[in-house]
């Protein structure tokens, strides 16, 4: 059963004792588990800040865009700031917080996977790169010693809580 | 507007010309965009293979578990294989395919984000590690030259299609 899966250490090896309600993946999906929420975060990474642009680029109704932006702001991934174009009334834009920015690896993980397995010819429409050096960019699971980690070398252990 | 967002190159800079329906993130979420689908993949990474265990550990009804396992198998993330316990009839278990295994960075990205921002004290219940060397494991956006890439150094360009 452990031919190619993660390694569960200590108390975790007793699988029936797990409490799934504490799972961080589940908690994350409670916040960004809808397709429209994840696509709004994608747009925010791309630099979209204005309500009309979110609605149009995500391809959702204004009602859905408003609901998602309100939820993502309340959850802390975006912050709502006033701006004013010349001669216009004050409006609001939505900018990434640190919490929102830190979702990038998860979104890029979905991006790479979708590009490889769900796009024609196994190639997505976009190439990710590092602007500073020009090399291709990828999402990787790595350890602090600098090793790439395949699934069967990944260990999960209970974190000590204080 | 580009103070801390990704860098859109070439034709992409014309944002209104995008075709959101080709977005790999959107395509990925069509396959694993439900909370129960993502949690079933989490369980598969942890080594769960049997129907009853998926239903119990994800905390969904058997109807929901059956629907998600059928969809994930049809989409190619899991494969269904016969097994037989002594004295029992033949049943089926679900094992990760390469396509399913390659979803790991996206799921771990959600895991780390949920641990940091949505768990008590900013610490999730589990610690990810590299079994071979014992160091902590993380999901990172890196380039092929070995640089870590913050959002404002990430470039997106159109991939050439043949």
Q: Please tell me the least confidently modeled range out of A5-19, A63-77, A103-117, B122-136.
A: A5-19
Contact B70, B78 (CB under 8 A): no
Sequence-ordered list of residues with C-beta below 8 angstroms from that of B150, at least 6 positions apart, any chain: none
- Does A5 contact chain B (CB < 8 Å)? yes
Q: What percent of chain A has pLDDT over 90?
A: 59
- Does B11 contact chain A (CB < 8 Å)? no
Q: For B28-56, write each residue's pLDDT tens digit.
A: 988 988 888 988 999 999 899 999 999 99
Q: What is the DSSP letter of B142?
A: E
Give B24's pLDDT tier (boundaries 50, 70, 90). confident
Residue B155 has pLDDT above 50, yes or no: yes
* Confidence (pTM): 0.87
Average pLDDT over residues B97-118: 94
Contacts of B102 in chain A (CB under 8 A): 113, 116-117
Average pLDDT over residues A60-80: 96
Q: Do A137 and B129 touch (CB under 8 A)?
A: no
Which residue do the tokens 């999402």 mark?
Answer: A139
CA of A46 vs chain B CAs: smallest distance (Å): 5
pLDDT at A126: 84
Contacts of B59 in chain A (CB under 8 A): 20-21
Q: How much is the ipTM here?
A: 0.88
Residues counted in chain A: 162
A13 sits in which H/E element: none
Please give the structure tokens belonging to residue B35. Answer: 């909370």
Residues 57-116 of B with CB under 8 A from A: 57-59, 76, 96, 99, 101-116
């Amino acid at each position: 059963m452990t031919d190619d899966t993660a390694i569960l250490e200590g108390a975790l090896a007793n699988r029936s004792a797990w409490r799934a309600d504490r799972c961080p993946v589940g908690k994350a999906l409670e916040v960004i588990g809808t397709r429209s929420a994840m696509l709004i975060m994608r747009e925010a990474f791309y630099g979209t800040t204005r309500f009309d642009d979110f609605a149009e680029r995500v391809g959702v109704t204004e009602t859905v865009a408003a609901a998602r932006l309100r939820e993502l702001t309340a959850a802390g991934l975006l912050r709502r700031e006033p701006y004013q174009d010349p001669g216009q009334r004050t409006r609001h834009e939505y900018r990434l917080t640190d919490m929102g920015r830190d979702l990038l690896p998860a979104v890029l993980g979905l991006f790479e996977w979708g590009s490889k397995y769900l796009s024609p010819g196994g190639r997505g429409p976009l190439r990710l790169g590092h602007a500073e050096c020009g090399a291709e960019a990828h999402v990787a699971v790595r350890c602090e010693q600098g090793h790439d980690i395949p699934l069967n070398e990944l260990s999960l252990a209970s974190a000590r809580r204080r």
